[in-house]
Amino acid sequence: MQKKPELNGTLLEVKDLKVHFPLRGSFVERLVGREPGSVKAVDGVSFQLQRGEVLGLVGESGSGKTTLGRALLRLAEPTEGAIVYDGRDITRVEEREMRSLRRKMQIVFQDPHASLNPAMDLETAVGHPLSIHGVTKDKVDMRRRVSEMLERVGLAPADRFLTKYPGDLSGGQKQRAVLARAIMLNPDLLVADEPVSMLDMSVRAKILELMIGLKDEFDLTYLYITHDLATARFFCDRIAIMYLGRIVELGQTEEIFANPRHPYTASLLRAIPEPDPAKGIPRDLPRGEVPDAVTPPHGCNFHPRCPRAFEVCGWEARDVRDLLEERWAGMAEQEFTREQALIGDLDALDEVSEIARVPSTEGVRSRHVVELLERIRREQPETRLWKGARSIEEGGKEALIQFHEGLEPRHLVVDSVEVECHLYDDEARGRAEEHARKGRK
Amino acid sequence: MARPSLTRLFGPIREARGVPKWVVIAGIAITIAFVVFALFAPWIAPYDFDTYRTADGVRFPKQGHPSGDHLFGTNVQSTDVLSRVIYGARTALEVVILAVIFSLAVGLPLGLISGYFGGKLDRVLLLVMDSLFAFPYLLLAIVVAFLLSDRLGRGVMTAAVSISVVYVPQYYRVVRNHVISVREETYVEAARALGAKPRTVISRYILQNVIQNVPVIATLNAADAILTLAALGFLGYGIQPTDAAEWGYDLQRAISDAGAGIWWTGLFPGFAIVTLVTGLTLLGEGLNDVLNPVLRRRPIQAVILPERQSRLPAGEAGV
């Protein structure tokens, strides 16, 4: 199904795009005038979309992939960065001008049941783009075009569907109608935001095949947003893996599947369900949940869940809390009570800091907390966090864990694959080795 | 299969069962009866609303007991009570229809714009409407009627405008709140992605999905408007008695009669008010039950399983 894209120029270029949604703070916060912060849905994304290719944007829920897709069409306002469409910067274009540009860039949403106006019959709905952009005012011409398009997307005979309301159609039929409406103006770019994830398995393949057919027929360029690597593999020329607002890896589909560079990509690939239950594959899926996008982890966003994180990945106080909580969750009641008695309120660890201040309970010497932490370190030396810890010291009423300085992952190109990971950054590795050497001394 | 929009509206009424259906039907029947009175008043009523003597110049009896000539009797001004009640229906419906049209014409667009665009405009409108809403409605109507009486005179128009001022905030509030929820629907964003102007989005994508609430509020408000009109007339701020027959005014004139045992001058106009208000309320409440999918109860048909054709021998049944 995959064929090499004929690359003839860049259609869309995104440079360091950020989309932040400001949070509405509590009443008191607003009264004091404290900045409530923002959800960093897209936090510095750059990529290029070549004419005629299918780029897959893959990520978990909450990774910001839908927001990125909407921002490209200016349905969500970009906070920073630039979107260049066909040589023109559209990041700050007025809505009025944007309207005419929308002829060329269309979007298909995830939920086909919600993307059609329930009070509009199919003929009006699918033909509406034509009248919005003044392509044709003639009723007969409009009906002819709509009928042709409906039959093209597989809603045949068109006469039967023209007068139907969305409520009369199945999910697959609705998504076909939505596709028909999107293609009606013959756009260049189609952002498909999980177009098949709400459909039955049996319908998915048909809709994807239809999309491939439409792409060839109408010379479309797709940005295919999905959380489903299996359909992305089937459908995309290139794949971008998104994690917490950033693209962590971007490369040719075959390359990504054969040789995933980023640890997150690797764990995503291992998470693809295996149909044969007899093949018990060892899975080291990423631990825990996607972190909060309001205060993303320090350094590399993925380091708290990463199985290969090391010294410079950005270890911080919050990771210590996770470590303790995870440890206690799997412990016998007695031991847990004993350990917890030593350590004070864990909320003290909820700050972005390279020094973790583990508080001791009232009346407990901080030496005991240090001893406990040292013991944990001895018991689980393979825990990635300890790679980042430079020292554990006593300090007044708390134990201080000093971490190595964390680095922001840089945008690297490794054998044609773009990746943001310290594992491939010689400088970061050098720094880490230096830290490790000093630590041994 | 074509489904014209009329069928979409009346389908639910036909499908309704039980109490809601009968409530709607009773409401429709009462309302239609009054509409017929209003439309054909000159043919139904035995006299004109301000006739006080026969064609020969013989004066009607003053406060005459109900009789063959005057079925509902006559009042203190010697006019025929039955005729005034029938003509009163005409006045009431004229005023109410105008008031509903005016308040819709103002409340609906303001609600749509305020809900769709939000921001500062929304806040200002909301503040204005909420303060109107908080104002005692009768006082508000009286003030407006008083202000308008200089320019428009004290006719049907003045009464309609002063009543609509009271009901604009209700339409505005209901429409705006509904628009705010519809605005977030994917199909509205899809319309924006198609390049539709705000005007197109509002008129083609939002209005159609908001309008369904309007018939219910309109009928309930109409019932309320009848009472407001009667109150205005009763207090003497309503329609000029020479212009039209008005139930509230008649009631006011009948106050002194009641003590003297003259019951017919007050009973019949009062009865007309109560009946029409009840009818409209039944219609509104019934429509709400029938149209609102949360309250609507669909008929459930019992499943009748067909008789088994052949009996399997025991032992094979479970296979």
Domain edges within chain B: 5-291
Find chain A residues with C-beta within 8 A of B185's C-beta.
Answer: 114
pLDDT, tens digit, 9 for 90 and up, residues A294-340: 888 888 888 888 888 888 888 888 888 888 888 888 888 888 888 88
Helix (H) or strand (E) holding A404: none
The 10s digit of each residue's pLDDT in B220-230 is 889 989 999 99
Indicate if A31 and A173 belong to the same structural domain. Answer: no
Contacts of range A22-27, beta carbons closer than 8 Å, 24 or more positions apart: A23/A294
Contact B233, B247 (CB under 8 A): yes
| Cβ neighbourhood burial of A42 (10 Å; 0-12, 13-18, 19+) | buried
* pLDDT at position A288: 67
Does residue A155 share a domain with residue A194?
no
CA B220 to chain centre: 5
Cβ–Cβ contact A104 with B under 8 A: no
Say whether pLDDT at B5 is over 60. Answer: no
Q: Does B192 touch chain A (CB under 8 A)?
A: yes
User: Which residue type is seen at A362?
Assistant: E
Handedness of CA A262, A267, A272, A277 (dihedral sign): positive
Asked whether residue A96 falls in the same domain as residue A142, the answer is no
Verify that A267 and A171 share a domain, yes or no: no
Mind telling me how many Å the CA of A181 is from chain B's nearest CA?
Answer: 9
Chain A residues touching B183 at Cβ < 8 A: none
Instruction: Give the closest residue to B190 by CA, choosing from A175, A228, A164.
Output: A175
Beta bridge partners of A104: none
Q: Are residues A34 and A177 in the same domain?
A: no
Domain that holds residue A90: 1-104+186-203+210-298
State how far the Cα of A204 lies from the Cα of A223, in Å rounded to an integer. Answer: 17
In a domain, A435, yes or no: no
Shortest Cα–Cα distance, B55 to chain A (Å): 58
**Which of the two residues, A436 and A85, has the higher pLDDT score?**
A85
- Complex confidence, ipTM: 0.81
Q: Does B2 touch chain A (CB under 8 A)?
A: yes
- Asked, for residue A416, whether it belongs to a domain, the answer is no
Q: Are A348 and A253 members of one domain?
A: no
In percent, how much of chain A has pLDDT > 90? 33
User: Chain-wide mean pLDDT for chain A?
Assistant: 86
> Is B244:B229 a contact under the CB 8 Å cutoff?
no
Per the domain annotation, does A418 fall within a domain? Answer: no
CB B234 within 8 A of CB B55: no
For the entire predicted model, the pTM comes to 0.79
DSSP state string for A272-326: SPPS-TT------PPPS-PPPSSSPPSSSTTGGG-TT--TTS---HHHHHHHHHH
B197 and chain A in contact, CB less than 8 A: yes
Residues A325 and A191 in one domain: no
Q: Is residue A307 part of a domain?
A: no
Assigned CATH for B5-291: 1.10.3720.10
Q: Are A117 and B187 in contact (CB under 8 A)?
A: yes
Q: How near does any CA of chain B get to the CA of A127, in Å? A: 11
Q: What is the C-alpha to C-alpha distance for residues A338 and A333, in angstroms, rounded to an integer?
A: 9
pLDDT for res A338? 86
**pLDDT tens digits for range A98-142:** 988 898 999 999 998 899 998 888 999 999 999 899 888 888 999
Phi-psi region of A288 (alpha: psi -120 to 50; beta: other; left: phi over 0): left
In a domain, A338, yes or no: yes
Same domain? A14 vs A35: yes
Q: What CA–CA distance (Å, rounded) separates A208 from A319?
A: 41
Residue A346 in tokens: 């864990």
Residue B1, chain A, CB below 8 Å: the answer is: yes
Chain A partners within 8 Å of B184 (Cβ): none
Contacts B197 to A, Cβ<8 Å: 99, 132
Listed range (A99-108, A384-393, B269-278) with the worst mean pLDDT:
A384-393
The answer on pLDDT for A6 being more than 70 is no
Cβ separation of B204 and A109 shorter than 8 Å? no
Q: For residue A441, tell me if it sits in a domain.
A: no
d(CA A297, CA A275): 35
Q: Report how far apart, in Å, the C-alpha atoms of A127 and of each of A130, A182, A219, B97 are.
A: 5, 10, 21, 37
Residue A438, in any domain of the structure:
no
